[in-house]
Chain A
Amino acid sequence: MKRRGAIRAVLVGVMALGIGGCVTVEAPDKPIVIELNINITQEVIYRLAEDAGDTIEENSDIF
């Protein structure tokens, strides 16, 4: 019974593909740029500012 159900499901899937045709994916002509900085909120920046300022002063040789 189970196997018959599975076969039916596969057949339905194949039929659906036949009706729907091919799915085409076109590559964009422009490069995809992921802007990570855009998710950083001003609230977080203000919270971290004092700590970051101390860090810069404590490691002045690399800043």
Chain B
Amino acid sequence: MLKNWKPTKTILAAAAAITAITGFTGAAYAMRDPAYAAARANGQVGEKMDGYIGIVGAETADLRRIVNDINIQRRAVYAEKAQAANATLEEYAFTAGCLLISRTTTGEMYQAYNGGWKKRDANAPDRDPRCP
């Protein structure tokens, strides 16, 4: 019984620490905003090589708002983590971009190595050769 409690305590402690540091009062491991999740699934937004998302087709005010909102938050996280890792913001964001393109699921859009948008299929994504 005591053994089962340990991970929960750890997670709660981590959540408390994250809340203390960032001032963010939601759940530590929150889900994507439904509008963002839908835009991803519909291929209206895609993962770019630089670690941010972009609008794939025609721009709308709603899509622009979603993209800006996510990218501002990503930038803040990248900046903090890059500093801790003695790297530049661009280096850290680009590394994340490599991983995020790998983690796209079938049907989602990503920026291919040639700069154009591609729809993710069952094959490995077409990434920058420097990606791990």
Residues of B within 8 A of A41 (CB): 130
Closest to A60 in B: B29
Say yes or no: A59-B87 contact (C-beta < 8 A), given A45-B132, A49-B132.
Answer: no
Distance in angstroms between the alpha carbons of A58 and B128 in the assembled complex: 25
Chain B residue numbers with a CB within 8 Å of A36 are 90
Residue B16 at the chain A interface, CB threshold 8 Å: no
Query: Are B74 and A37 in contact, with the CB atoms below 8 A?
Result: no
The contact of A52 among B33, B49, B96, B128, by CB within 8 Å, is B96
For chain A, give the interface size range.
20 to 34
Contact partner, B98, options A47, A49, A60, Cβ 8 Å: A49
Q: Which of chain A's residues have a CB closer than 8 A to the CB of B74?
A: 62-63
* Chain A residues, Cβ within 8 Å of B92: 48, 52
Interface residues on B, range: 20 to 34
Instruction: Output the nearest chain B residue to A49 by Cβ-Cβ distance.
Output: B132
Please tell me if the beta carbons of A61 and B32 are within 8 angstroms of each other in the complex: yes
Residue A51 at the chain B interface, CB threshold 8 Å:
yes
Given the complex, which residues of A lie within 8 Å of B85, measured CB to CB? 47-48, 51
Could you list some 19 contacts between A and B, CB below 8 A? A37-B90, A40-B130, A42-B130, A44-B87, A44-B95, A45-B95, A48-B85, A48-B91, A48-B95, A51-B85, A55-B81, A55-B96, A56-B96, A56-B100, A59-B77, A61-B31, A62-B73, A62-B74, A62-B77
B: residues with CB less than 8 A from A are 18, 26, 28-33, 49-50, 70, 73-74, 77-78, 81, 85, 87, 90-92, 94-96, 98-100, 103, 128, 130-132
